[in-house]
Structures are given as C-alpha cells and as structure tokens.
Structure 1
Amino acid sequence: MTNKEDILGVTVGKLLPSIFKQWTDADVVLVSERLVSFIHAVMATTAGCIVVSSCNNVITDRHWLTTYFVVWFGVPYMTYDIYAMYLSHYYRFRVNGHEEYKKHSLQTVNSFVRRELLLVLHHIALLTILLPITLFFRKDQGDYFIGCLFLTELSTPFVSLGKILIQLGLQDCWIHKANGMMVLLSFFVCRLALFPYMYWVYGRHYAIPLYSVPFHLSLACNLGNLCILAPQVYWFVLLCRKGYRLYQRQGKARDTSCITDNNKGD
C-alpha cells in the first residue's frame, strides 16, 4: 500500500524552500506537517459527514466509506504523523544548535517520545485499539459512530492554520484571532461534546435514558471512549490557557500603547 500522506509531505517539503528561501529545515518540516494534517482532517471530516448523514439506523446501517477511509487514509496518516512529529522535533533542536541533534540516534528518538508522550500514545492507541475494533471486532455494526469519530478531526484544520499563520508572521492579524476562536469552538463541539452526544444517540435508539447508557455498554467500550476523551479534555484545557495568556498579552499591549499615545499628547 502506497503511503499517500508520506508522498504529499515530501512533495510539500520540496516546494516550500523554493518559495520561502529564508526558512530553516525546522520551519519547512513544521509547515509541511501542518499542511498534510490540514488536508487529512478535511478529508476525514468530509468522510464523517457522508457516513453520519447516510446512516438512518445508528447500529445496523453500513457505508463502504467507513472501512475504506480507515484502511487507505487513517492508518497511513497516523503512521506518517508520528514520523513527521519526530522530524519536526529533531530539526527544531538541530537548528537551535543542540550537539546531540547533529544526526538521528536513539537519544533523539527518546527525547522526542518523552516530550510528546501523550501525542505518541494517542496515535499508537488509535492504531492498535481503534483500528482492530473498526475492522474486526464490531461485527459490521456502528458505522454511524465511526463516522462521528471521523468528525473529531474538524478542529485540526484550524489548529494547523494557526501554526502556519504564526510561521508566516501573521499572529497579530484578525484572521489569527478569528481562527483561535474557531479552534476552541470546534475542539469543544467535536472532541468533547461529541462523546455525550453519541451516548445520547445510542440511548435514543434503545429508548433508554442517557444516564443508563454506560451500563448498557460493555466495560471495554466505556474504557475505550474514556481513553479517547481524556487527552482531549487535557488538550482543551491547554488551549484555553494559551488563549487566555494571548488575551492578557494583547490587553497589556493595548494599555502600553494608550499610555504611550497619552504621553505623546502631553
């Protein structure tokens, strides 16, 4: 199977230096990774919308795109993204002059895993847990809910766009501020609120109240959902803190500007 994401990443990585000649290897790898993430997320969200809108019965209805997307795009992307994140980490430290980053080694890999442990575990869990469930253990049921999980990628284009705008020096423009609001909104809706929504849909199908749904599902299903949801809560808190710090800095900058203007007026 050809890794389409790897081919796309290499292509973008070769084009960017010819356009932005002042960028370092770290800049090129970062933007390449984010562009590939952006494109994959748009595809995953589109696939999720198609699957969800096509399933009237949330348990038994099938759609061919569910398995096809996981096999041909989900798995290659998750594998590629771990490698791309490592390269981004490696070149960032190499450009900053760290001696141990003159070449790839077990030390650089270990450093990456320690710094990005949660992200790495998240990707590995999707490959080793969600993939087998999707392909083998769900007994050809629940395409609707797999489609819902595809929709968790809706926030990724906004996250990727934010990092690209910062790389382009546009972090103070209105587009970056509006994008930041979309990051928080899309992340909350599609990575946090989506899980109680899926429980509610399941309960409505079987005519049981929302609070009874966890007891109607298997322990493995509840634990799997919890393992996916827990890091999303952690990342959302980090995003909120980052947004609050940015708001404080902009407020201080406005106050300083007003004081300066008043002094000039005096």
Structure 2
Amino acid sequence: MLTPMVAGGVVFPGLFLLSKNTLQRLPQLRWEEADAVIVSARLVSSVQAIMASTAGYIVSTSCKHIIDDQHWLSSAYTQFAVPYFIYDIYAMFLCHWHKYQVKGHGRDDGDARAPGSTWAVVRGYLHKEFLMVLHHAVMVLVCFPLSVVSPRGPGLAETGNSPASSGRQWG
C-alpha cells in the first residue's frame, strides 16, 4: 500500500517543480514565478484528471459487473491519488498567493496581521476556495480511510454482493 502513495508523492510535486523550473529557466521563456506556478499547477491537475479518467475507463470496461467486481487498478489508483489531493491544496494556495501579490495587496511592513500578511492571504484563500479545500480534505481524511478499512476492499460500491460471496472472479 505504501508504494503507490510514495509514487504519487513523488510524481505530482515532482512534475510541478519540473514544469515550474523549466518555464522559469529556459532562455526562450524566462517566465515570472507567478505565471510559472499557475501554469504548472494547472498542468499537474490536467495530468491527474487524464490519469484518473483513464483509470476509471479501464476499470469500468474491464469489469463485467461494475457494482460487484473489483479491479486492482481502482485500489492502486486510490492510493496513488491521495498525495495529489494533499499537494493540490498547497498548489491552489500558491496560485492564490501569487494572484494576491500581483493585485498589489501584499505588504512587507512586518505586521503579522497586516492586510498583506500570510494570515490574511490564508483567510482569503480559505474563504474563496473553501469547498474545494473541503472536498480535498474529505477525500484524504474520510474517503480514503473508508476505502482501506472497508471489508469489501476499495473499488466496490456499497450495494451488491462481494466477489467472494457471488462466485465472480476478480477483474
């Protein structure tokens, strides 16, 4: 179970850093950090969406009875995607922070509660992106643990028979 999680923990932040650094350092590009962060975060989100959709397609087309059957990829991708949700909370904050700085709201006067302080940016981020942060947190803190401790295992719906009791083969 640890291998897919470690892989996800390397792939998503690694792709972000590689993309950001490439956009900033290539002589032909030399993007500003804010632009590189925003585009890199969107690139990683797009890659994750493609991977999740592909995994879903493979699982749904490989199972004869989508409710009753189980596929190894559903379990593996669930574990692989957990680090993405954690990474994405941070990436969304970085994007919000850079957009905040571009708008000229940031101040460096040393006051911890100044309008441009980190706390003000965090509050603004949570206010603006509350549902997305909540969604990511629920995926990591509720859905993933439930899928791991479920007696039927991850990848099975809550209705229907388990593959063992129905005599069906595992996909």
Q: State the TM-score bracket (shorter-chain normalisation).
A: 0.7 to 0.9
Aligned to 1:53: 61
Q: Within the alignment, does 1:140 sit opposite 2:147 as a pair?
A: no
Q: Within the alignment, does 1:71 sit opposite 2:84 as a pair?
A: no
Which of 18, 24, 28 is 1:11 aligned to? 18
Q: Which runs of 4+ in 1 moved over 6 A?
A: 101-104
- Rate the CA distance shift 1:53–1:20 in 2: closer, same or farther, 3 A: same
Unaligned runs of 5+ in 2: 1-5, 110-115, 162-171
**Total equivalences in the alignment:** 146
Percent identity between matched residues is: 34
Tell me the SS of whatever aligns to 1:99: coil
Unaligned runs of 5+ in 1: 147-201, 207-266
Shift of 1:132: 1.8
Letter in 1 for 2:15: L
Q: Within the alignment, does 1:25 sit opposite 2:33 as a pair?
A: yes
Point out which structure has higher relative CO (alpha carbons under 8 A, 6+ apart): 2
Shift of 1:138: 5.5
Aligned to 1:44: 52
State which structure, 1 or 2, has the greater radius of gyration over its C-alpha atoms.
Answer: 1
TM-score (norm 2): 0.74
Q: Within the alignment, does 1:98 sit opposite 2:111 as a pair?
A: no
- Rate the CA distance shift 1:95–1:24 in 2: closer, same or farther, 3 A: farther
- Rate the CA distance shift 1:85–1:44 in 2: closer, same or farther, 3 A: same
Distance 1:7 1:31 in 2: 14
TM-score (norm 1): 0.49
- Rate the CA distance shift 1:82–1:70 in 2: closer, same or farther, 3 A: same
Tell me the SS of whatever aligns to 2:145: helix
Shift of 1:140: 2.5
Distance 2:44 2:16 in 1: 6
Distance 2:57 2:117 in 1: 41
Shift of 1:104: 6.9
Aligned to 2:70: 62
Distance 1:52 1:138 in 2: 21
Q: Which has the higher helix share?
A: 1
